[in-house]
Structure 1
Protein backbone atom coordinates (compact mmCIF):
# COMPACT_ATOMS: atom_id res chain seq x y z
CA UNK A 1 0.00 0.00 0.00
CA UNK A 2 1.15 3.56 -0.53
CA UNK A 3 -0.63 6.59 0.88
CA UNK A 4 2.34 8.84 1.62
CA UNK A 5 5.69 9.49 -0.01
CA UNK A 6 8.41 12.13 0.19
CA UNK A 7 10.13 14.20 -2.51
CA UNK A 8 13.50 15.86 -1.98
CA UNK A 9 14.75 18.26 -4.66
CA UNK A 10 17.79 16.12 -5.37
CA UNK A 11 19.82 16.48 -8.59
CA UNK A 12 17.97 13.45 -10.00
CA UNK A 13 14.44 14.72 -9.22
CA UNK A 14 14.73 18.50 -9.56
CA UNK A 15 14.67 18.58 -13.41
CA UNK A 16 11.37 16.68 -13.47
CA UNK A 17 9.84 18.91 -10.80
CA UNK A 18 10.96 22.07 -12.60
CA UNK A 19 9.47 20.84 -15.87
CA UNK A 20 6.07 20.17 -14.30
CA UNK A 21 6.19 23.35 -12.21
CA UNK A 22 6.71 25.63 -15.20
CA UNK A 23 4.19 23.97 -17.50
CA UNK A 24 1.10 25.82 -18.73
CA UNK A 25 -1.00 22.88 -17.58
CA UNK A 26 0.11 23.46 -13.99
CA UNK A 27 -1.00 27.09 -14.17
CA UNK A 28 -4.42 26.06 -15.47
CA UNK A 29 -4.80 23.34 -12.84
CA UNK A 30 -3.92 25.66 -9.97
CA UNK A 31 -6.45 28.21 -11.22
CA UNK A 32 -9.28 25.81 -12.01
CA UNK A 33 -8.89 23.26 -9.21
CA UNK A 34 -7.83 25.65 -6.46
CA UNK A 35 -4.89 23.41 -5.53
CA UNK A 36 -1.27 24.28 -4.94
CA UNK A 37 1.48 22.44 -6.76
CA UNK A 38 3.61 20.46 -4.29
CA UNK A 39 7.25 20.63 -5.34
CA UNK A 40 8.68 18.68 -2.43
CA UNK A 41 7.99 17.44 1.07
CA UNK A 42 5.56 14.79 2.25
CA UNK A 43 3.00 14.01 -0.45
CA UNK A 44 -0.56 12.94 0.40
CA UNK A 45 -3.56 11.71 -1.61
CA UNK A 46 -5.31 14.48 -3.62
CA UNK A 47 -2.06 16.52 -3.82
CA UNK A 48 -0.94 17.93 -7.19
CA UNK A 49 2.59 16.70 -7.87
CA UNK A 50 5.14 15.79 -10.52
CA UNK A 51 4.56 12.58 -12.49
CA UNK A 52 6.56 11.21 -15.42
CA UNK A 53 4.57 10.11 -18.48
CA UNK A 54 4.89 10.04 -22.28
CA UNK A 55 4.70 13.35 -24.15
CA UNK A 56 2.48 13.85 -27.20
CA UNK A 57 5.40 12.78 -29.37
CA UNK A 58 6.15 9.68 -27.30
CA UNK A 59 9.12 11.02 -25.35
CA UNK A 60 9.51 10.97 -21.58
CA UNK A 61 8.49 14.16 -19.79
CA UNK A 62 7.00 15.44 -16.53
CA UNK A 63 3.46 16.62 -15.90
CA UNK A 64 1.52 17.98 -12.93
CA UNK A 65 -1.04 15.37 -11.86
CA UNK A 66 -3.47 14.95 -8.97
CA UNK A 67 -3.16 11.81 -6.84
CA UNK A 68 -6.34 9.75 -6.95
CA UNK A 69 -8.91 8.47 -9.44
CA UNK A 70 -12.54 9.48 -8.95
CA UNK A 71 -14.58 6.32 -9.56
CA UNK A 72 -18.41 6.25 -9.53
CA UNK A 73 -19.76 4.61 -6.40
CA UNK A 74 -16.52 5.14 -4.44
CA UNK A 75 -16.76 7.99 -1.94
CA UNK A 76 -13.05 8.86 -1.84
CA UNK A 77 -10.27 9.10 -4.44
CA UNK A 78 -8.71 5.74 -5.33
CA UNK A 79 -4.99 6.19 -4.73
CA UNK A 80 -3.79 2.57 -5.13
CA UNK A 81 -4.49 -0.18 -7.66
CA UNK A 82 -3.42 -3.82 -7.38
CA UNK A 83 -0.91 -4.71 -10.09
CA UNK A 84 -2.13 -8.32 -10.08
CA UNK A 85 -5.69 -7.40 -11.11
CA UNK A 86 -5.51 -3.94 -12.73
CA UNK A 87 -5.75 -5.34 -16.26
CA UNK A 88 -9.07 -7.01 -15.36
CA UNK A 89 -10.71 -4.06 -13.60
CA UNK A 90 -12.96 -1.76 -15.60
CA UNK A 91 -11.55 1.32 -13.83
CA UNK A 92 -7.91 0.47 -14.68
CA UNK A 93 -7.76 -1.91 -17.66
CA UNK A 94 -7.33 0.67 -20.42
CA UNK A 95 -4.76 2.63 -18.43
CA UNK A 96 -2.87 -0.59 -17.67
CA UNK A 97 -2.50 -1.09 -21.42
CA UNK A 98 -1.98 2.50 -22.59
CA UNK A 99 -1.47 5.02 -19.76
CA UNK A 100 1.37 4.00 -17.46
CA UNK A 101 3.42 6.52 -15.49
CA UNK A 102 6.22 6.85 -12.96
CA UNK A 103 5.87 8.76 -9.71
CA UNK A 104 9.35 10.06 -8.78
CA UNK A 105 10.00 10.00 -5.04
CA UNK A 106 12.87 9.96 -2.60
CA UNK A 107 11.19 7.33 -0.43
CA UNK A 108 7.74 6.23 0.65
CA UNK A 109 6.23 5.83 4.09
CA UNK A 110 4.60 2.85 5.72
CA UNK A 111 3.21 2.29 9.18
CA UNK A 112 3.27 -0.85 11.27
CA UNK A 113 -0.13 -2.53 11.20
CA UNK A 114 -0.66 -4.16 14.60
CA UNK A 115 -3.51 -6.41 15.67
CA UNK A 116 -5.21 -5.46 18.91
CA UNK A 117 -6.59 -8.10 21.31
CA UNK A 118 -10.06 -7.55 19.84
CA UNK A 119 -8.76 -8.45 16.36
CA UNK A 120 -8.90 -4.93 14.96
CA UNK A 121 -5.81 -3.39 13.35
CA UNK A 122 -4.13 -0.24 14.61
CA UNK A 123 -1.20 1.66 13.13
CA UNK A 124 2.11 1.89 14.94
CA UNK A 125 5.59 3.18 14.12
CA UNK A 126 6.09 5.09 10.86
CA UNK A 127 8.95 4.02 8.54
CA UNK A 128 10.67 5.60 5.53
CA UNK A 129 11.45 3.04 2.80
CA UNK A 130 13.57 3.22 -0.36
CA UNK A 131 15.46 0.78 -2.60
CA UNK A 132 18.81 -0.35 -1.26
CA UNK A 133 21.69 1.49 -2.94
CA UNK A 134 19.48 4.22 -4.45
CA UNK A 135 18.48 7.74 -3.46
CA UNK A 136 15.45 7.72 -5.79
CA UNK A 137 12.29 5.60 -5.61
CA UNK A 138 10.67 5.20 -9.04
CA UNK A 139 7.08 4.19 -8.25
CA UNK A 140 4.99 2.64 -11.02
CA UNK A 141 1.48 4.00 -11.59
CA UNK A 142 -1.39 4.52 -13.98
CA UNK A 143 -2.91 7.78 -15.15
CA UNK A 144 -6.01 9.08 -16.93
CA UNK A 145 -7.81 12.32 -17.69
CA UNK A 146 -10.67 13.66 -15.59
CA UNK A 147 -12.77 16.83 -15.88
CA UNK A 148 -13.68 19.52 -13.37
CA UNK A 149 -14.76 23.13 -13.82
CA UNK A 150 -14.40 22.73 -17.57
CA UNK A 151 -10.75 21.62 -17.33
CA UNK A 152 -9.53 18.21 -18.45
CA UNK A 153 -6.56 17.30 -16.26
CA UNK A 154 -4.50 14.18 -15.44
CA UNK A 155 -4.85 12.09 -12.29
CA UNK A 156 -2.82 9.06 -11.21
CA UNK A 157 -2.95 6.02 -8.97
CA UNK A 158 -0.06 4.01 -7.50
CA UNK A 159 0.31 0.33 -8.36
CA UNK A 160 0.86 -2.04 -5.43
CA UNK A 161 2.05 -5.64 -5.13
CA UNK A 162 2.76 -8.39 -2.63
CA UNK A 163 5.54 -7.23 -0.29
CA UNK A 164 8.90 -8.75 0.42
CA UNK A 165 9.15 -10.97 3.50
CA UNK A 166 10.75 -8.12 5.47
CA UNK A 167 8.12 -5.56 4.50
CA UNK A 168 5.30 -8.00 5.23
CA UNK A 169 6.04 -7.39 8.91
CA UNK A 170 4.70 -3.84 8.38
CA UNK A 171 1.94 -4.28 5.78
CA UNK A 172 0.55 -6.82 3.33
CA UNK A 173 1.13 -4.54 0.28
CA UNK A 174 3.95 -2.39 -1.09
CA UNK A 175 4.20 -0.07 -4.12
CA UNK A 176 5.63 -1.40 -7.36
CA UNK A 177 9.11 0.16 -7.50
CA UNK A 178 11.04 -0.14 -10.76
CA UNK A 179 14.75 0.20 -11.54
CA UNK A 180 15.56 3.28 -13.60
CA UNK A 181 16.74 1.06 -16.46
CA UNK A 182 13.17 -0.07 -17.31
CA UNK A 183 11.32 3.24 -16.92
CA UNK A 184 11.31 4.03 -20.65
CA UNK A 185 9.86 0.60 -21.41
CA UNK A 186 7.21 1.00 -18.71
CA UNK A 187 6.01 4.29 -20.22
CA UNK A 188 5.81 2.87 -23.75
CA UNK A 189 2.15 2.02 -24.52
CA UNK A 190 3.13 -0.95 -26.69
CA UNK A 191 5.28 -2.67 -24.07
CA UNK A 192 4.22 -5.58 -21.85
CA UNK A 193 3.62 -4.33 -18.28
CA UNK A 194 3.50 -7.85 -16.81
CA UNK A 195 7.01 -8.57 -18.07
CA UNK A 196 8.38 -5.22 -16.88
CA UNK A 197 6.98 -5.69 -13.37
CA UNK A 198 9.10 -8.83 -13.08
CA UNK A 199 12.01 -6.38 -12.67
CA UNK A 200 10.39 -4.67 -9.65
CA UNK A 201 12.69 -4.03 -6.69
CA UNK A 202 11.99 -5.54 -3.27
CA UNK A 203 15.35 -5.15 -1.49
CA UNK A 204 14.64 -2.04 0.62
CA UNK A 205 16.23 0.12 3.27
CA UNK A 206 13.73 0.57 6.10
CA UNK A 207 14.29 3.37 8.63
CA UNK A 208 12.20 4.53 11.57
CA UNK A 209 10.98 8.11 11.43
CA UNK A 210 10.28 10.46 14.30
Structure 2
Protein backbone atom coordinates (compact mmCIF):
# COMPACT_ATOMS: atom_id res chain seq x y z
CA UNK A 1 0.00 0.00 0.00
CA UNK A 2 1.18 3.55 -0.61
CA UNK A 3 -0.75 6.65 0.48
CA UNK A 4 2.16 8.98 1.29
CA UNK A 5 5.64 9.48 -0.12
CA UNK A 6 8.33 12.10 0.36
CA UNK A 7 10.20 14.12 -2.28
CA UNK A 8 13.34 15.87 -1.04
CA UNK A 9 13.24 19.41 -2.50
CA UNK A 10 16.97 19.87 -3.06
CA UNK A 11 17.71 16.43 -4.49
CA UNK A 12 14.82 16.49 -6.96
CA UNK A 13 14.96 20.21 -7.78
CA UNK A 14 15.98 19.67 -11.46
CA UNK A 15 12.98 17.54 -12.40
CA UNK A 16 10.58 19.54 -10.24
CA UNK A 17 11.65 22.74 -12.00
CA UNK A 18 11.18 21.12 -15.42
CA UNK A 19 7.66 20.01 -14.50
CA UNK A 20 6.74 23.40 -13.02
CA UNK A 21 7.78 25.26 -16.20
CA UNK A 22 5.41 23.33 -18.46
CA UNK A 23 2.23 25.02 -19.67
CA UNK A 24 0.29 22.03 -18.34
CA UNK A 25 1.46 22.84 -14.80
CA UNK A 26 0.34 26.44 -15.16
CA UNK A 27 -3.06 25.27 -16.46
CA UNK A 28 -3.44 22.94 -13.47
CA UNK A 29 -2.74 25.80 -11.10
CA UNK A 30 -5.11 28.25 -12.82
CA UNK A 31 -8.00 25.90 -13.73
CA UNK A 32 -7.86 23.50 -10.80
CA UNK A 33 -6.28 25.60 -8.06
CA UNK A 34 -3.54 23.01 -7.61
CA UNK A 35 -0.35 24.08 -5.76
CA UNK A 36 2.80 23.24 -7.71
CA UNK A 37 5.21 22.66 -4.82
CA UNK A 38 5.81 19.03 -5.88
CA UNK A 39 8.07 18.35 -2.88
CA UNK A 40 7.86 17.39 0.77
CA UNK A 41 5.29 14.83 1.94
CA UNK A 42 3.03 14.09 -1.01
CA UNK A 43 -0.60 13.12 -0.46
CA UNK A 44 -3.41 11.87 -2.72
CA UNK A 45 -4.69 14.57 -5.15
CA UNK A 46 -1.35 16.45 -4.96
CA UNK A 47 0.50 17.36 -8.16
CA UNK A 48 3.94 15.80 -8.43
CA UNK A 49 6.70 15.45 -11.04
CA UNK A 50 6.33 12.11 -12.86
CA UNK A 51 8.44 10.39 -15.52
CA UNK A 52 6.44 9.25 -18.56
CA UNK A 53 6.97 8.90 -22.34
CA UNK A 54 6.88 11.96 -24.56
CA UNK A 55 5.46 11.88 -28.11
CA UNK A 56 8.63 10.17 -29.33
CA UNK A 57 8.39 7.52 -26.61
CA UNK A 58 11.39 8.83 -24.67
CA UNK A 59 11.47 9.51 -20.94
CA UNK A 60 10.26 13.02 -20.04
CA UNK A 61 8.96 14.85 -16.97
CA UNK A 62 5.30 15.83 -16.55
CA UNK A 63 3.16 17.22 -13.72
CA UNK A 64 0.50 14.66 -12.74
CA UNK A 65 -2.25 14.45 -10.13
CA UNK A 66 -2.12 11.51 -7.75
CA UNK A 67 -5.26 9.38 -8.00
CA UNK A 68 -7.63 8.02 -10.65
CA UNK A 69 -11.24 9.11 -10.22
CA UNK A 70 -14.10 6.61 -10.08
CA UNK A 71 -17.84 7.15 -10.20
CA UNK A 72 -18.42 4.74 -7.32
CA UNK A 73 -16.45 6.78 -4.79
CA UNK A 74 -15.49 10.38 -4.10
CA UNK A 75 -12.04 9.26 -2.91
CA UNK A 76 -9.24 9.04 -5.49
CA UNK A 77 -7.96 5.57 -6.39
CA UNK A 78 -4.28 6.01 -5.52
CA UNK A 79 -3.09 2.37 -5.63
CA UNK A 80 -3.44 -0.43 -8.15
CA UNK A 81 -2.68 -4.09 -7.45
CA UNK A 82 0.09 -5.50 -9.61
CA UNK A 83 -1.56 -8.92 -9.58
CA UNK A 84 -4.71 -7.72 -11.39
CA UNK A 85 -3.54 -4.63 -13.30
CA UNK A 86 -3.57 -6.42 -16.66
CA UNK A 87 -7.12 -7.71 -16.16
CA UNK A 88 -9.30 -5.09 -14.49
CA UNK A 89 -11.13 -2.60 -16.68
CA UNK A 90 -9.86 0.48 -14.82
CA UNK A 91 -6.20 -0.46 -15.22
CA UNK A 92 -5.58 -2.75 -18.16
CA UNK A 93 -5.34 -0.12 -20.90
CA UNK A 94 -2.80 1.85 -18.83
CA UNK A 95 -0.92 -1.35 -17.95
CA UNK A 96 -0.27 -2.07 -21.61
CA UNK A 97 0.07 1.49 -22.94
CA UNK A 98 0.60 4.14 -20.24
CA UNK A 99 3.15 3.35 -17.55
CA UNK A 100 5.03 5.93 -15.49
CA UNK A 101 7.57 6.28 -12.70
CA UNK A 102 7.19 8.50 -9.64
CA UNK A 103 10.64 9.49 -8.31
CA UNK A 104 10.77 10.11 -4.57
CA UNK A 105 13.09 9.76 -1.60
CA UNK A 106 11.05 7.24 0.37
CA UNK A 107 7.48 6.23 1.10
CA UNK A 108 5.60 6.07 4.39
CA UNK A 109 3.63 3.19 5.83
CA UNK A 110 1.71 2.70 9.07
CA UNK A 111 1.68 -0.54 11.02
CA UNK A 112 -1.58 -2.44 10.59
CA UNK A 113 -2.76 -4.89 13.22
CA UNK A 114 -5.76 -7.15 12.70
CA UNK A 115 -7.86 -8.98 15.25
CA UNK A 116 -7.72 -12.80 15.10
CA UNK A 117 -11.05 -12.91 13.25
CA UNK A 118 -9.75 -10.39 10.70
CA UNK A 119 -12.75 -8.09 11.15
CA UNK A 120 -11.09 -5.24 13.04
CA UNK A 121 -7.83 -3.41 12.40
CA UNK A 122 -5.70 -0.95 14.32
CA UNK A 123 -3.10 1.47 12.97
CA UNK A 124 0.25 1.70 14.76
CA UNK A 125 3.54 3.54 14.22
CA UNK A 126 4.50 5.40 11.04
CA UNK A 127 7.57 4.14 9.15
CA UNK A 128 9.88 5.67 6.57
CA UNK A 129 10.80 3.02 3.96
CA UNK A 130 13.23 3.03 1.03
CA UNK A 131 15.44 0.59 -0.90
CA UNK A 132 18.63 -0.45 0.87
CA UNK A 133 21.76 1.48 -0.13
CA UNK A 134 19.82 4.00 -2.20
CA UNK A 135 18.84 7.68 -1.93
CA UNK A 136 16.08 7.28 -4.53
CA UNK A 137 12.83 5.35 -4.62
CA UNK A 138 11.39 4.80 -8.09
CA UNK A 139 7.71 3.99 -7.65
CA UNK A 140 6.13 2.18 -10.60
CA UNK A 141 2.81 3.63 -11.67
CA UNK A 142 0.09 3.73 -14.30
CA UNK A 143 -1.43 6.90 -15.73
CA UNK A 144 -4.31 8.07 -17.88
CA UNK A 145 -5.97 11.34 -18.88
CA UNK A 146 -9.11 12.68 -17.22
CA UNK A 147 -11.20 15.78 -17.74
CA UNK A 148 -11.20 18.06 -14.71
CA UNK A 149 -13.05 21.40 -14.97
CA UNK A 150 -12.82 21.25 -18.75
CA UNK A 151 -9.08 20.54 -18.71
CA UNK A 152 -7.50 17.25 -19.84
CA UNK A 153 -4.97 16.32 -17.16
CA UNK A 154 -2.78 13.26 -16.53
CA UNK A 155 -3.45 11.34 -13.31
CA UNK A 156 -1.49 8.41 -11.88
CA UNK A 157 -1.84 5.53 -9.47
CA UNK A 158 0.99 3.67 -7.70
CA UNK A 159 1.28 -0.07 -8.31
CA UNK A 160 1.44 -2.24 -5.20
CA UNK A 161 2.47 -5.85 -4.59
CA UNK A 162 2.66 -8.32 -1.71
CA UNK A 163 5.21 -7.19 0.88
CA UNK A 164 8.40 -9.21 1.25
CA UNK A 165 10.36 -10.21 4.35
CA UNK A 166 10.36 -7.96 7.42
CA UNK A 167 8.07 -5.42 5.73
CA UNK A 168 5.19 -7.84 6.28
CA UNK A 169 5.40 -7.02 9.98
CA UNK A 170 4.34 -3.46 9.10
CA UNK A 171 1.88 -4.05 6.25
CA UNK A 172 1.02 -6.93 3.92
CA UNK A 173 1.53 -4.79 0.81
CA UNK A 174 4.22 -2.48 -0.53
CA UNK A 175 4.63 -0.30 -3.63
CA UNK A 176 6.37 -1.79 -6.65
CA UNK A 177 9.80 -0.15 -6.72
CA UNK A 178 11.95 -0.23 -9.84
CA UNK A 179 15.69 -0.50 -10.25
CA UNK A 180 17.04 2.73 -11.77
CA UNK A 181 18.22 0.86 -14.86
CA UNK A 182 14.65 -0.39 -15.47
CA UNK A 183 13.01 3.04 -15.51
CA UNK A 184 13.26 3.48 -19.28
CA UNK A 185 12.15 -0.11 -19.98
CA UNK A 186 9.10 0.34 -17.76
CA UNK A 187 8.05 3.62 -19.36
CA UNK A 188 8.58 2.51 -22.97
CA UNK A 189 5.05 2.20 -24.47
CA UNK A 190 5.89 -1.02 -26.33
CA UNK A 191 7.83 -2.52 -23.42
CA UNK A 192 7.03 -5.67 -21.44
CA UNK A 193 5.72 -4.59 -18.01
CA UNK A 194 5.39 -8.14 -16.72
CA UNK A 195 9.06 -8.84 -17.39
CA UNK A 196 10.20 -5.60 -15.73
CA UNK A 197 8.00 -6.23 -12.70
CA UNK A 198 9.89 -9.48 -12.01
CA UNK A 199 13.04 -7.42 -11.37
CA UNK A 200 11.40 -5.01 -8.90
CA UNK A 201 13.32 -4.25 -5.71
CA UNK A 202 12.24 -5.99 -2.53
CA UNK A 203 15.14 -5.40 -0.09
CA UNK A 204 14.15 -2.36 1.96
CA UNK A 205 15.37 -0.50 5.01
CA UNK A 206 12.94 1.25 7.36
CA UNK A 207 12.71 3.22 10.56
CA UNK A 208 10.00 4.71 12.76
CA UNK A 209 9.30 8.36 12.16
CA UNK A 210 7.17 11.08 13.69
Q: Compute the TM-score of the two structures, normalised by the length of structure 2.
A: 0.96
1:161-180 to structure 2, matched below 5 A, reads 161-180=161-180
Aligned to 1:92, the other structure's residue is in SS state helix
1:1-210 to structure 2, matched below 5 A, reads 1-11=1-11, 13-116=12-115, 119-210=119-210
Aligned to 2:77, the other structure's residue is in SS state coil
Which is further off, 161-170 or 71-80? 71-80
**Cα distance in structure 1, aligned partners of 2:124 and 2:63:** 32
Greater per-residue strand proportion? 2
Give structure 2 stretches of 5+ with no counterpart: none
Q: CA deviation at 1:10?
A: 4.2
Q: CA deviation at 1:117?
A: 7.5
**Cα distance in structure 2, aligned partners of 1:141 and 1:39:** 17
Which is further off, 194-203 or 32-41? 32-41
Equivalent pairs, count? 209
Q: Compute the TM-score of the two structures, normalised by the length of structure 1.
A: 0.96
Root-mean-square deviation (CA, aligned residues, Å) is 1.3
Q: CA deviation at 1:115?
A: 2.8
Do 1:102 and 1:140's aligned partners in 2 also have CA atoms closer than 8 Å?
A: yes
**Cα distance in structure 1, aligned partners of 2:185 and 2:10:** 24
Moved over 6 A (4+): none
**Cα distance in structure 1, aligned partners of 2:72 and 2:121:** 25
